Amino acid sequence: MKKLLAALCCAIAFCAPANAQEANVSKYKIGDYEFISLNNNTGAVSESLIINKDALEGYKTEGWNSNSLNYFVLKAGGDIILFDAGLPLTHGGKIAQRLQEAGLKPGDINIIAITHMHGDHIGGLLDAQGQPLFTNAKVFIAKEEAAHWQNNQDANAVLEAYKNQITLFKKNAKITGAVKSAPLFGHTPGHSGFIIKSNGQQVYVLGDVTHLTAQFANPEISVSYDVDPKAALKTRKNILAKVARQKNTHIAGMHIYKPGLGKLAKAEKGYTFTPAN
């Protein structure tokens, strides 16, 4: 995981803080459900990580490379669902702290939906002793993703720790009555998004489809984090176009600047992203 960490180191009705971009915990109402954005930290993507720097021409406006590390919680019926868990607690991960700030404990989480198995998404699943932090949760991971990481020591530590709690799902799987998976392969071979629907509103949890703000204005911009940059680009272009066409639809991203949730709209070139607040 050290190598991974070094490489990676109608509208929504809301009840969020006055300025959600200043808060680490923001709560929203999605139909009948509560959706909570948890921000671990904010930062910026180094230009050295852009693999096609020519695509940046004309797009390096203020905040072009801003990003965050986010994870999300959905309260739907009797389920409390966590989407990703961020960095290891020993490497700057704040999942336990952010849950506490949201009025939750790790033991409250009964479902965890993992977008992919990079260290800044699964590291927080383990406590400081390498044991499961979420002892009451079923953990859902795409079967393609688990297969890709089967020879990785740190990913296997998570798979082993949760071996009695893991479900490997196929494409477009029903996770709960409120959540369905969506294959968004490219960033990693089993990278998956999740679709939440309630009362005519929906949220697409897009994982790492984007890593920096400028990728909305120009989806062609690609980063070295992607295992398969061509596939990741195709996925990014397809899913952003799809979401921008849909009404009452918001996106949530693990690296979209906090709160990591907002609305996408088609622009003359690319898209505009408006954060929820």
Work out the pLDDT band at 264, boundaries 50, 70, 90.
Answer: very high
Q: What confidence category does residue 21 fall into, taking pLDDT thresholds of 50, 70 and 90? A: low
The pLDDT > 70 percentage for the chain reads 92
The distance in angstroms from the start CA to the end CA of the chain is 34
Question: Comparing 21-25, 99-103, 242-246, 247-251, which segment has the lowest mean pLDDT?
Answer: 21-25
Q: What is the mean pLDDT of residues 147-162?
A: 95
Q: Write the pLDDT tens digit of every residue in 88-126.
A: 999 999 999 999 999 999 999 999 999 999 999 999 999
The answer to whether 69 and 211 have CB atoms below 8 angstroms apart is no
In 3D space, the residue among 27, 14, 134, 16 whose CA is nearest the CA of residue 73 turns out to be 27
Looking at residue 50, what DSSP letter applies?
A: B
Residue 223 has what DSSP assignment?
A: B
DSSP 246-275: STTEEEE-TTSSTT-EEEEEE-SSSEEEEE
CATH of the domain at 216: 3.60.15.10
Number of domains in the chain: 1
Beta bridge mates, 194: 181, 205
- Quote the pLDDT of residue 20: 58
Q: Can you give the residue range of the structural domain that contains 52? A: 2-275
Task: Return the pLDDT at 7.
Answer: 39
